[in-house]
Amino acid sequence: MTIPLQARSFAISEHEKGIALVIAATLAWSASGLYSRLLTVDMWTTIAWRSLFGGLFLLIPSFFLEGGLSRRQWRSVLHPSGLAMIGCQTFSQACFIGALYMTSVANVTMIYATAPFIAALFGWLILKEKVARRTLVAGGICFSGVAVIVASSVDGGTGTGDLLALGMTVSFALVIIIPRINPDVPSLPPTIVSAFLTLVLFAPFGSVGSLDLHNWVVLAAFGATNFSIALVLFLAGARRMPPAEAALVGTMEIVLTPFWVWLLFGEQPPAATFLGGAIILAAVLWHTIVDFRRCRRMLAKAEKSPL
């Protein structure tokens, strides 16, 4: 007796590839706290040389993304949008490393989680985009969580670090908005230029002599994975899946980044960070899940509708 067996394809779909790539990007981004705690050099040295390695490693994918290394692509750094991108990214990267040195990794991560809502605010102010009511509600809840974290940090001595994290978040929100002002202007060349500019600006304040083999390796890994590889992986994955789903997967970074530092270094955030972080995480998850469900419904309707 012959039993027919249905052939099963083991090929990975584009959607599954997208999920895997975004997860890999999120894991790479979540290692930022680990790198900062593994380093034994001063803040200025880290800002400068981490940016150098990030820019160098980002040069490699620039040969294949956004049309390659063409003259038109690199002219974008002189465009007003390109110059704005360079300024915002340079400021954001400096604030990011400064915040990791001056406050807890959990505080930096939780404050950074509000970036999409600040970007939505800038989109309304600059691009006159309509902001959904759920975004306003989630954004307001997130900012209340940030207020809880920052208010408790004033007495704890980490207020400056929290303000740097907020500065990083605001400037990164502008990085999200600027390409939408002029969509035809490539964003990769300004990102690379900002990395090298950061080196030029901050290297004089650091100490190259303090860099031993251990710190060189950590800085190279920090720049390669957290600055460039994570960005390339996320861009490659995000184009294979709905934006709401990519954002939902990306929220893992909020939990994973402080978790790795707690697991390996025993860094225990203050109670106010747990409270403010829980408020922020709940708002982010609620917003992204609602967006994800709306996106699923829209895709289902599109599949059912006649051509």
pLDDT greater than 50 at residue 204:
yes
Question: Is 276 within 8 Å of 146 (Cβ atoms)?
Answer: yes
| pLDDT higher than 80, residue 100 | yes
Q: What is the pLDDT of residue 143?
A: 86
pLDDT confidence of 8, banded at 50, 70, 90? very low
Nearest to 46 by CA among 246, 174, 221: 221
Higher pLDDT residue, 210 or 185? Answer: 210
- Minimum mean pLDDT range among 31-40, 58-67, 167-176, 278-287: 58-67
Provide the pLDDT confidence category of residue 15 given band limits of 50, 70 and 90: confident
Mean pLDDT, the chain, whole residue set: 84
pLDDT band at 244 (very low <50, low <70, confident <90, very high): low
Count other C-beta atoms under 10 Å from residue 140's C-beta.
11
DSSP string for 129-154 = ----HHHHHHHHHHHHHHHHHHHHHH
Confidence check: pLDDT of 171 > 50: yes
Residue 10 has pLDDT above 50, yes or no: no
As a 3-state breakdown, the chain gives helix, strand, coil percent values, each rounded to 5, of: 80, 0, 20
The three-state secondary structure class of 186 is: coil
| pLDDT, position 154 | 66
- Predicted pLDDT at 243: 65
pLDDT at 198: 96
Tell me the per-residue pLDDT of 60-80, one tens digit each, with 9 for 90 and over.
777 766 555 667 677 778 889
Domain spans in the chain, listed from the N-terminal domain onward: 14-206+214-296
Alpha carbon of residue 276 to chain centroid: 20
pTM for the full predicted model: 0.83
Residue 2 confidence (pLDDT) above 60: no
CB 276 within 8 A of CB 110: yes
Select, from the ranges 8-12, 100-104, 215-219, the one with the highest average predicted confidence (pLDDT): 215-219
**Confidence (pLDDT) at 178:** 87
Q: Is 1 helix (H, G, I), strand (E, B) or coil?
A: coil
What average pLDDT does range 232-247 have in this prediction? Answer: 75
What percentage of the chain reaches a pLDDT higher than 70? 88
Mean pLDDT score, 165-176? 91
281 pLDDT exceeds 50?
Answer: yes
More confident residue, 172 or 45: 45
In this predicted structure, the answer to whether residue 139 has a pLDDT above a threshold of 70 is yes
Q: Residue 101 pLDDT > 90, yes or no?
A: yes
Tokens of 235: 């861009």
For the chain, percent of residues with pLDDT exceeding 90: 32
